[in-house]
Amino acid sequence: GRMRVPRVPSGPLVQATSEMVQTAAAVRQVFKQVEPDLEFGCFQVLHCPANWAELLGSSPQGQAILEEAGGELKLQDKALVQVEIGTMRGAPRGAARDARMSVHLSLSRSQVSALRDVRGGDEARVAMLTGDVMGVNLLGRQVRDVEVAALLRVLAAAHQTSVGQLARNYQQELARAGAAAAAAAAPLVTSPLKAAAPAAALPT
């Protein structure tokens, strides 16, 4: 019979998943390339520039986000926050070595200040973040966050790059790191050598 060719997945869900993967990679890269405005514990913070609307409207994708939000987007008091869960005490084994174990979210400046000032370290901060006061869900964040996408495009434009370029840079760095790790783990291949000459006597 005829061989069945597997269908390539397509449609809105696949496109949305692809966008989320690209956004996550680009956010990680922007935090690697740009010095955070604030850093405490496993939290890194980039504040939204004052001219965010101009920066967001400078690309077709940014304009699409503005249209999607329908005038409800208010970023002047917002910050893009990266939470490195993998560096927390009690994280899953090996997670501290996995830079990809990070969560990205949009918080207000007052929320960032509250998290910075809380006593008890990162455990207390994450408890406040996910508790009744802020109610952020760190697990299973599969829904596209319009504010995170918007903040990312604003910050990319502010540093004269694009989301696509940031994502590509991140993937290239991951590939280089993977190749370097593989090379370090590979057994040394030695070629047969002639017997070494006797060491010269050191002058006394």
Are 106 and 74 a contacting pair, CB within 8 Å? Answer: no
Regarding predicted confidence, which is higher, 98 or 124? 124
Residue-level pLDDT at 97: 44
High-pLDDT (> 90) share of the chain, %: 36
Secondary structure (DSSP) of 66-100: HHHHTT----TTEEEEEEEGGGSTTPPTTGGG-TT
Per-residue pLDDT tens for 161-180? 888 888 888 888 888 888 88
**What is the identity of the amino acid at 154?**
V
Element containing residue 69 per DSSP (H, E): helix 60-69
Residue-level pLDDT at 2: 59
Per-residue pLDDT tens for 88-115? 655 544 433 444 578 889 999 999 999 9
The rounded distance, in Å, linking the Cα atoms of 38 and 113 is: 10
Burial class (CB in 10 A: 0-12, 13-18, 19+), 92: exposed
The rounded distance, in Å, linking the Cα atoms of 162 and 203 is: 63
